[in-house]
Amino acid sequence: MRHLGTFAVGLLLGIIVGALIWASQPRPASGRAPTPHVGAVYEWTPFAAPTGPARTPEATPWPPATPPPATRTEPAQVAVPVTPKPSPGPTRRVRGTATWYCGSVCTRGYPSGLYAAAGAELRTGDWRGRRVRVTAGGRSVVVTLVDSCRCKGERVIDLYAGAFRRLAPLSRGVVGVTVSW
């Protein structure tokens, strides 16, 4: 019970002090507090002690009518058009046969299916990730080399099923190709 009394006294004291501070705030000539306008921001702190002549809070429209000037600390960069260099065309060509492997099981990480395993003749230099054009009978497909194969004989590349389909039906199994990069 004693704590309840202390709380009530503290609450009453807070209300009285708040009312005294509110009463000491400057008022407009009409004697009424200003009516806030929608979108207005007032520079008025109700609990600050007055420090100078009485002034009426001024409404500042939000957002400001004109944006503040932009300040740059670095010089402006100007875009210079770049003329693309003509592609030199394929520098290497390998002829042989292509087969297909891997239906949908191993294409999880490669959703489009335009990937292949490289035979020994294609594994020169930094070959993994290289994009090569595979052409067969007037059709071609660009694939990315992501794996290696132990291609024997004339076979130079193993295509994912999705890439092989662009050249010939899967039922064909083997197709003569030219690989260029």
Give me the CATH number covering residue 169: 2.40.40.10
CA-nearest of 94, 93, 19, 27 to 56 is 27
What is the value of pTM for the model shown? 0.50
CB 129 within 8 A of CB 144: yes
Peptide bond into 81 cis (omega under 30): no
Q: CA-to-CA distance for 178 and 140, rounded, in angstroms?
A: 9
The answer to the question of residue 109 being in a domain is yes
Number of domains in the chain: 1
- Owning domain of residue 124: 93-180
Q: Work out the pLDDT band at 65, boundaries 50, 70, 90.
A: low
Q: Is residue 141 part of a domain?
A: yes
Report the pLDDT averaged over residues 8-19. Answer: 77
In a domain, 176, yes or no: yes
Task: Answer whether residue 51 is part of any domain.
Answer: no
Report if residue 132 sits inside a domain: yes
> Tens digit of pLDDT for each residue in 105-151?
666 666 677 999 999 999 999 999 999 999 999 999 999 999 899 88
Please state whether the peptide bond connecting residue 67 to the residue before it is cis, i.e. omega within 30 degrees of 0.
no
Asked if residue 1 belongs to a domain, the reply is: no
What pLDDT does 136 receive? 96
Is a pLDDT exceeding 60 seen at residue 49?
A: no
